[in-house]
């Protein structure tokens, strides 16, 4: 109200309409017939108008509500449970829903960016039924999103006694931008953010370059989730959501060089992600080849100057990956929801299936390969050597063909390396492909009825095999 008075607008407190003061520290002030009757009374029903007049109430023609900043408070560091709960707006949501229900008589506004549009229409007398309906749709979607954010927070705040998958699940998204098109030009698309500060791509800041496309965002997600797996400096190059390059090193510039060397031909037109501040030397390597998009948690001023030399190159500064909530995918008529695949490398729970255990060096490479294959589309095989994914076989219908592709791409670099499979080998043929190429250790879930044959093939080559008892399908 103070803001209205400061703008020299004649404003009156709610209590003037209700004849009742706000109580319970302001928790109850608009939940009163003096307000809701004025919003809900239908102008085309004489009995409604008569009742309003009989009770000396007043009609309300326009409602503008800014809900309490729940999502902003939730994202604020240090906010307590009580702080967040206090920002759950009850009266505001009720007002919005009432006005939206009666939108043929009441204009409802929930977004400040609509103020000038509505004021102009009022002054010009062009507020029509279509505009009223659009504002009502926006209002109901606004309160639905608000309630969904609250439900999601409460479920995550204390899961005791709550179903992992509730009987009803709503997705609350805020439009970030409409995209030029979807996966193909004949499809329309948009990008939505989950909550106020969700991290990852939802909190990304674009530093330069062309507008993001649907496919850019898909690839960016795959790239950044992958490098976030590692504590050491990591770089990856993604094509069609699969890594064609991935490497770790003590310095970021070396990690990128190794990642690029994994498959230089496929790296052309790729998406690059790193898990450290991007420095000038690494940036210079990136711009030396055609690149669509670069993602990093931060950038030095010098690296930004280098990247600016490629004006069309998209550059994103990305927040930390927060895999809260559910991993969701739509299907015709519904959507699938699952927990995120957060499983890392748990050596103490794995079992050595071969006669020979891995060496200390092989264990290090197996960990790298296992975390990498988790991010490759099934059927997936990764051959790793010196903390680089030198051969990747992705998305094949046959596991042995995935192994053959990985070996073909790795060439001589497979010798002395390790091989990871996202699911068990149904036959010994797939693992034999890697062993013949020179890999010395294999990691896979196990669980095939032919596990004995697979292990015997490994033992016959004098190699080592680790069985994880867990798979990493990625469809």
pLDDT band at residue 1 using 50, 70 and 90 as cut-offs: low
Average of per-residue pLDDT across 213-231: 95
Decide if 317 contacts 207 (C-beta within 8 A): yes
**Which distant-in-sequence residues (6+ apart) come within 8 Å of 149 by Cβ?**
70, 71, 74, 172, 195
Told to judge if 101 belongs to the known catalytic residues of this protein, a careful annotator would answer yes
Give the tens place of pLDDT for each residue, 62-96: 999 999 898 889 888 888 988 989 999 998 899 99
Told to judge if 32 belongs to the known catalytic residues of this protein, a careful annotator would answer no
| Per-residue exposure over 417-453, b if at least 16 CB sit within 10 Å of its own CB, e if not | bbbbbbbbbbebbbbbbbbebbbbbbbbbbebeebee
Average of per-residue pLDDT across 424-430: 95
Give the tens place of pLDDT for each residue, 400-418: 999 999 999 999 999 999 9
- Can you list the domains of the chain with their CATH numbers? 2-157 (3.40.50.1380), 200-317 (3.40.140.20), 347-467 (3.40.140.20)
Closest to 355 in 3D by CA, of 438, 437, 445, 466 = 466
Give the tens place of pLDDT for each residue, 298-331: 999 999 999 999 999 999 999 887 766 788 898 9
Confidence check: pLDDT of 164 > 80: no
| Catalytic pick among 240, 324, 346, 436 | 240
| Catalytic pick among 29, 32, 101, 281 | 101
pLDDT score, position 424:
96
Calpha distance 400→414 (Å, rounded): 16
Q: Is 279 helix (H, G, I), strand (E, B) or coil?
A: coil
Give the tens place of pLDDT for each residue, 236-264: 999 999 999 999 999 999 999 999 999 99
pLDDT band at residue 148 using 50, 70 and 90 as cut-offs: confident
Q: Which helix (H) or strand (E) holds 442?
A: strand 441-444
């Amino acid at each position: 109200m103070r803001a209205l008075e400061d703008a020299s607008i004649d404003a009156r407190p709610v209590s003037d309409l209700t004849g009742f003061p706000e109580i319970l520290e302001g928790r109850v002030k608009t939940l009163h017939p003096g307000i809701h009757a004025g919003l809900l009374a239908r102008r085309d029903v004489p009995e409604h108008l008569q009742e309003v007049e009989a009770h000396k109430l007043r009609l309300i023609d326009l409602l503008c509500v800014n809900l309490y900043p729940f999502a902003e408070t939730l994202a604020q560091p240090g906010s307590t449970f009580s702080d967040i709960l206090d920002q759950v707006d009850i009266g505001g949501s009720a007002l919005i829903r009432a006005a939206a229900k009666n939108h043929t008589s009441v204009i409802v506004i929930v977004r400040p960016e609509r103020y000038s549009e509505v004021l102009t229409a009022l002054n010009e007398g062009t507020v029509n039924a279509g505009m009223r309906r659009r504002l009502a749709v926006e209002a109901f979607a606004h309160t639905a999103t608000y309630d969904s954010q609250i439900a999601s927070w409460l479920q995550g705040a204390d899961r005791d006694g709550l179903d992992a998958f509730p009987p009803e699940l709503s997705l609350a998204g805020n439009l970030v931008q409409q995209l030029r098109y979807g996966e193909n030009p004949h499809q329309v698309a948009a990008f939505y953010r989950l909550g106020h500060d969700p991290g990852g791509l939802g909190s990304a800041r674009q530093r330069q370059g062309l507008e993001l496309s649907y496919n850019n965002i898909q690839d960016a997600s795959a790239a950044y989730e992958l490098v976030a797996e590692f504590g050491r400096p990591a770089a990856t190059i993604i094509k069609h959501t699969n890594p064609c390059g991935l490497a770790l090193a003590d310095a970021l510039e070396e990690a990128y060089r190794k990642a690029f060397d994994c498959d230089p031909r496929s790296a052309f037109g790729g998406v690059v992600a790193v898990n450290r501040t991007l420095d000038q030397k690494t940036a210079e390597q990136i711009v030396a080849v055609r690149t669509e998009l670069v993602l990093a948690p931060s950038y030095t001023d010098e690296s930004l100057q280098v990247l600016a030399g490629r004006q069309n190159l998209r550059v994103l500064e990305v927040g930390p990956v927060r895999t809260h909530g559910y991993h969701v995918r739509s299907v015709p008529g519904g959507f699938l929801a699952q927990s995120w695949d957060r499983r890392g490398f748990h050596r103490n729970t794995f079992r050595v299936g071969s006669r020979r255990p891995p060496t200390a060096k092989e264990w290090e490479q197996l960990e790298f390969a296992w975390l990498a294959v988790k991010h490759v589309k099934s059927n997936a095989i990764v051959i790793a050597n010196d903390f680089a994914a030198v051969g990747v076989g992705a998305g094949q219908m046959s596991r042995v063909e995935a192994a053959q592709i990985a070996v073909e791409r790795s060439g001589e670099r497979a010798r002395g390396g390790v091989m990871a499979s996202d699911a068990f080998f149904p036959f010994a043929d797939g693992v034999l492909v890697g062993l013949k190429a020179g890999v010395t250790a294999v990691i896979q879930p196990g669980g095939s009825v032919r596990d004995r044959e697979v292990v015997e093939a490994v033992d016959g080559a004098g190699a080592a095999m680790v069985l994880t008892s867990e798979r990493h399908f990625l469809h």
